[in-house]
Amino acid sequence: MPLRPRAPVGWRRLRRLRGGLAGGAVLTLIVAAAALAPWVAPHNPYVGRVIDRLLPPVWMDGGDPRYPLGTDQIGRDVLSRLLYGGRVSLSIAVLAVFVAGTVGLSLGLLAGFYRGRLDWTISAAVDVMLTFPFVLLALATIAVLGPSVRNVVIVLGITGWPIYTRVVRAEVIRLRALEFTVAARAIGLTNARLLLRHIVPNLLNTVIVIASLDIARFIIVEAFLSYLGLGVQPPTPSWGGMLGDFRPFMFDRWWLPTFPGTAIFVTALAVNLVGDGLRDYLDPQSRTSP
Amino acid sequence: MTLTARLGRNLVRAVVVLFGISVITFVLSHVIGDPVSVLLPLDAPASTRASYRHEMGLDRPIAAQYLAFAEDTVQGRFGDSFLVKKPAIALIAERIPRTLLLTAAGMVIAVTIAFPLGILSAYRRRSLVDSTSIAVAVAGAAIPIYWLGLMLQIALGVHLHWLPPSGYGSWRHLVLPAFTLGVFLAPVTMRLVRSGMIEVLNQEYVRTARAKGLPEGRVLLRHAFRNMLIPVLTVLGLQFGQLMGGAVITETVFAWPGVASLVVQAIQSSDFPVTQAAVMILAVIILVVNLSVDTVAGTLDPRLRA
Amino acid sequence: MDADTLALENLDRWWFFYRKGLITRRELFQAVLAAGSAAGAAGLVPASTGAPRAWPVARAAAAAAKDTVTLHLNSDLPNLDPHMHILREEIITMYHMFNNLGTRDLKTMKIGPDLATSWKIVSPTAWEMDLRQGVKFHNGDVFTADTVKFNYDRVLNPAEKSPQRGNHDAIDHVEVLGPYKVRIVTKRPYPIFVERLQNFQMVPEKYVKDKGDAYVAEHPVGTGPYKFVDWKRGSEINVVRNDDYWGPKPAIPHAKFRIITDVATAVAELLAGNVDIVRYVPTDQIATINRSGRATAKVQKILRVEYVALDAAGRSGSNPFQDKRVRQAANYAIDADLYLKRLQPGGDRTPAALNPMHFGFDPSIPPYAHDPDAARKLLAEAGYKNGFDARWLTSNLGMPSYQNVYDAMAQDLAGAGIRAKQQFIQATQTLVDLITSSKAGPMFGFSWGSYSVFDADGLYWDCFHPTSNLSYWHHPRFAELIEAARGTIDPDLRRRFYASAQKIVHEDAPVIFLWGFHSVFGASTAIDWTPEPDEIVRLYNVRPHQA
């Protein structure tokens, strides 16, 4: 059984996590809606009738009950695109976090555990990545690979891993020095076993917290990439892409950008609350920065 | 480790980082596009293209080009912009102060928003204030700059005519972009301040101060706040590198003629000298900032030494 | 001498040289195009709001309030040297501070006098030009024949590396015949010499020699209606009225060119009253601008047309579009009229790819109707009952709000069975490279401005003749017809040839026919201005609006 210096779970602690629970509930709703989009969405998000373009939401003058949230510039249903777009944006964020987290965790482990030249190289790489302007890297990567969902995930993964490495490395160094490591070695555990069964579980908490916050961040970064024209390509919907497309409509059809904007905001908020809750639950005396 | 030794080690590290960045920048900018296509009209004959390419030195093998680039960079010679026929450094030097002004102003606004909120919510954890601040922080992080920027432009610039929607020249032109950038920076800062304060407030010496019967205000200010500052400032300094992303959009949306928008333009027109020069100069600035912050913080608080 | 007279006189001379066997029929033909093509267009090129302004504009009585007129540019200029750029934005800016030897008369669309008062072709490879006297540069230097020689030498000098050198490549050298007379000798008969006159600004010789290119690139000195004041790089360029101008002086004393890359910001500035003219307004903002009460959207027909080329000749390999029925099906599948009505600020349908403004356009050919059933039937006949997939290369080719149109087209094509997958190419040059190297099939977008030649030849030859590397269609009978049309200058005969050619193009459908563009500008209600048919905004023609 892995040794974990943790306080026991109590009812009191759970009650303090109501923020996290609320966030979790909202998030579950959003994820469910997105996942069930093919069954829930009233229309095909890729096809619109140009005749029906730019209809306002149903509660406004000129609205049409067939299109509850109105239509976009070539007549596609906004609600359907919002649901399918959620699938795209959320899966990009989750996948990218998975890539960044896995790479970052591994490199951080290697650097912190084995130290020496390996550590030095990896840390230098982390410094390089953190100093390099994100925009240039994103532009260049997409220019080479071409814009697509897959390549957006790659860009986010490439730019996201350094944070994990840095944090994990620091934790591993600290844990290495702790008593239980010394004790484990004394009873003859190999390096690999030590790593896997004892150190990694202690790290996972940290990584999970950072990852959950990164999900929110990546949704927003995807929006940024779409604004620059480097994100998901038409006609595939994504929240960031829709927000960018609808920006000129701010002048007089303000509801259009409000919908994806609100979706992004609510999701980011929910993810943040869950992340905070996770951190409070797993690690009340948190040493890691939020 | 002595101060000099630490400085020395950090310096070596910085040089290695710069080298890595130079390689990546060089490769990326050459891979992104072909400046000859941008500079000549679409129907230029192949012979003209070939001669332009030769004049620019673009037909040499890529390793040779990199070596020439590295050699020149170390001496600070980035060459002339392909587009403008002026030294790349001059173009960048002209625009960096404007970006620095914008980011400084943005930081000031971010701090003004973030510190009070962060301290307050740390102090009154789990209260309504705390939850609201978190929501505000997330809102600030979730609203894209280009959206907030346009909303402000429309509301304050078009409808109310209080401020110019874009441009550069007077303090009035600075307000909207600085505010937008500040809102972009505030959430992270607020979270940092909040968690920094929380940690500090739980420390022994704070409890001791309280136990001694010191008034609450004094406890907050003299002990908690000062000790919280160092780690917060450290991370803030490290955030400086992240500012570029925010600056790029802010400068584009508000037509602010700074170095961030110059870089994007240079990338889009395959202007290698400007792209490379801008990235290297910015990298140096960031590294210097990081280095100073690290050293100062390490000197003041031994716990933070790497 | 005015533009019409100049054109006719020179045309006579070309005809003379041809009869003497000194030039080929092809060269004569080009001369005809250059001189006469615009004549056909003149009647068809009205601005959509009000009559076009002829140049020059009479000086308006001063309207006190408006002191500065501001034009929006969507990117910064690399320099302010008129010989060292290839940007339309810079052409526009340079037009205000410099003059050209000739300039376009906006009513007749022909090239008329500017710094040169007349020109005549004296031999197939030599022109003689009389220059305007009494013209001074902003710094006091005098404009003479030496100036003209200096300018041509400068742009042709390989050491100067001017990107415009290719434009004047046919010119061999310039001889000074007198203080205000030059002879320009060309390497070969060069009929479009006259067209080129309107885009070659004159710089002062002594100033450039004394100060050097680098200085001149940031401190322009010309002979134009406005004088340079300052350039805040990345931000704006300011100019002030030249009160010693030799021509009619601008009505508004100051002009400003503001650089705003983000189009939503530019529209916001227009509505806030800080910018007077915005170019390339997105279609969906037209209503917003018109509703605002502070600006109106002005639409201008332009010669540029767009179509989606289909690989009929199989240059990129075998593909379904080699079958005529499939190509026709593609045309039936789309609903161009609907797109024009809903997604575009108008446009002129091009049933055989020609713009109605091209000489030779046959209005009796009906464009393809929207008929998805016919499309599906044709596809089935051709053996594609279940449709097929096709890669579609797209780029920003100048169409307003193009992405909306492409998305709508992709939908409609897919509905008929042609599942076109868009692949957007950022740099137009890359697309052109793919096209010329036969790699752009089976579908690619393309647009053509005909180099401002308002004649069917200006499009048909370069885009559809089998020998052109832009053409993915080989039709021998069509080739014969347009070659025949080139071989005569009889306009009625040419019209007949082109009518037959258009019927072939329409029926064989080598492309999905789209339309000729309407360009949209946003203009403040504080000014009176009509968009120029040649897309060069002239702030010196703008007058403050009298309430």
What does the buried/exposed string (b/e) look like for C366-387 if buried means 16 or more CB atoms within 10 Å of the residue's CB? ebbebbbebbbebbeebebeeb
Contacts of B260 in chain C (CB under 8 A): none
Q: Indicate which of A74, A148, A236 best probes the interface with C, i.e. most C CBs within 10 Å of its own CB.
A: A74
Nearest chain A Cα to B237, which residue?
Answer: A131
Q: ipTM of the assembly?
A: 0.81
Read off the tokens for A56. Answer: 């306002």
Interface contact C407-A147, CB threshold 8 A: no
Alpha-helical segments (H) within chain B: 3-32, 35-39, 46-56, 62-74, 88-123, 128-142, 145-152, 171-201, 204-211, 216-218, 226-239, 243-253, 259-268, 272-300
Mean pLDDT of A90-106: 93
Distance CA(A264)–CA(C506), nearest Å, equals 49
B28's torsion region: left (phi>0), alpha (psi -120 to 50) or beta?
alpha
Tell me which of 1.10.3720.10, 3.30.565.10, 1.10.10.1400, 3.40.50.360 is the CATH number of domain A45-283: 1.10.3720.10
Does C35 have pLDDT greater than 90? no
Cβ B99 vs Cβ B260: under 8 Å: yes
Amino acid at B139: A
Read off the tokens for B118. Answer: 């962060």
Read off the tokens for B56. Answer: 């620019």
Read off the tokens for C480. Answer: 């014969």
Nearest chain A Cα to B16, which residue?
Answer: A124
A62 at C interface, C-beta within 8 A: no
Distance CA(B247)–CA(B259), nearest Å, equals 9
Q: Which of residues 178-197 of B touch A (CB under 8 A)?
A: 191-192, 194-195
Residues 6+ apart with CB under 8 A from B94: C233
Contacts of A124 in chain B (CB under 8 A): 13, 16-17, 20
Q: What is the pTM of this model?
A: 0.82
Nearest chain B Cα to A251, which residue?
Answer: B154
Query: Based on the number of CB atoms within 10 Å of its own CB, is C249 exposed (0-12), middle (13-18) or buried (19 or more)?
Result: middle
Q: Which stretches does DSSP call E strand in A121-280?
A: none
Read off the tokens for C535. Answer: 């897309």
Of the pLDDT bands very low, low, confident and very high (cuts 50, 70, 90), residue C236 is very high
- pLDDT tens digits, A9-56: 555 566 567 778 888 899 999 999 999 989 989 998 888 888 888 889
Nearest one of C306, C311, C308, C307 to C441, comparing CA atoms: C311
Interface contact C291-A252, CB threshold 8 A: yes
- pLDDT tens digits, B65-85: 888 888 887 787 788 887 777
Does C48 have pLDDT greater than 50? no
What percentage of chain B exceeds 90 in pLDDT? Answer: 11
Nearest chain C Cα to A252, which residue?
Answer: C288
Residue C522, strand partner residues? C278, C297
- pLDDT tens digits, B205-221: 667 767 777 666 666 66
Amino acid at C96: H
Cβ C514 vs Cβ C306: under 8 Å: yes
Q: How many CB atoms lie within 10 A of CB A150?
A: 11
Of the pLDDT bands very low, low, confident and very high (cuts 50, 70, 90), residue C65 is low
Read off the tokens for C168. Answer: 């004047």
B181's torsion region: left (phi>0), alpha (psi -120 to 50) or beta?
alpha
Cβ C326 vs Cβ C382: under 8 Å: yes
Whole-Å CA distances, C237 to B271, C95, C219, C288, C522: 22, 13, 11, 28, 20
Read off the tokens for C81. Answer: 């040297």
Distance CA(B41)–CA(B38), nearest Å, equals 8
Residue C420, strand partner residues? C390
- pLDDT tens digits, C238-284: 999 999 999 999 999 999 999 998 888 999 999 999 999 999 888 88
Whole-Å CA distances, A169 to A96, A199, B293: 20, 11, 21
Task: Supply the pLDDT for residue B73.
Answer: 78
Residue B129, strand partner residues? none
- pLDDT tens digits, B210-252: 777 766 666 666 666 666 676 667 666 667 766 777 888 899 8
Residue B252, strand partner residues? none
Query: Based on the number of CB atoms within 10 Å of its own CB, is B190 exposed (0-12), middle (13-18) or buried (19 or more)?
Result: buried
Q: How many CB atoms lie within 10 A of CB C477?
A: 10
Distance CA(C487)–CA(C499), nearest Å, equals 16
- Considering only the beta carbons, identify the residue of A48, A54, A250 that sits closest to C411: A48
Read off the tokens for B227. Answer: 């000790």
Of the pLDDT bands very low, low, confident and very high (cuts 50, 70, 90), residue C149 is very high
C469 at B interface, C-beta within 8 A: no
Residues comprising chain A, all counted: 290
Does B133 have pLDDT greater than 60? yes
Cβ A76 vs Cβ A48: under 8 Å: yes
Interface contact B168-C430, CB threshold 8 A: no
Interface contact B195-A251, CB threshold 8 A: no
Task: Supply the pLDDT for residue A290.
Answer: 39
Strand, helix or coil at C346?
coil
Query: Based on the number of CB atoms within 10 Å of its own CB, is C317 exposed (0-12), middle (13-18) or buried (19 or more)?
Result: exposed
Cβ C414 vs Cβ C420: under 8 Å: yes
- B264-B265-B268-B270 Cα dihedral, nearest 10 degrees: -110
Query: Based on the number of CB atoms within 10 Å of its own CB, is A141 exposed (0-12), middle (13-18) or buried (19 or more)?
Result: buried
First to last CA, chain C: 37
Interface contact B282-A133, CB threshold 8 A: yes
Nearest chain A Cα to C282, which residue?
Answer: A248
- pLDDT tens digits, C476-529: 999 999 988 887 778 899 999 999 999 999 999 999 999 999 989 999 999 999
Contacts of B275 in chain A (CB under 8 A): 136
Distance CA(C247)–CA(C242), nearest Å, equals 10
Helix (H) or strand (E) holding C171: strand C171-178
Cβ B96 vs Cβ B261: under 8 Å: no
| Domain coordinates in residue numbering, chain A | 45-283
First to last CA, chain A: 29
Q: Indicate which of B9, B10, B17, B294 best probes the interface with A, i.e. most A CBs within 10 Å of its own CB.
A: B17
Q: What's the mean pLDDT when you consider all of chain C?
A: 88
Interface contact C429-B42, CB threshold 8 A: yes
- pLDDT tens digits, B27-68: 877 776 677 766 676 666 677 778 777 877 777 887 888 888
Whole-Å CA distances, A210 to A166, B131, B198, B218: 12, 20, 18, 34
Contacts of C260 in chain B (CB under 8 A): 166, 255
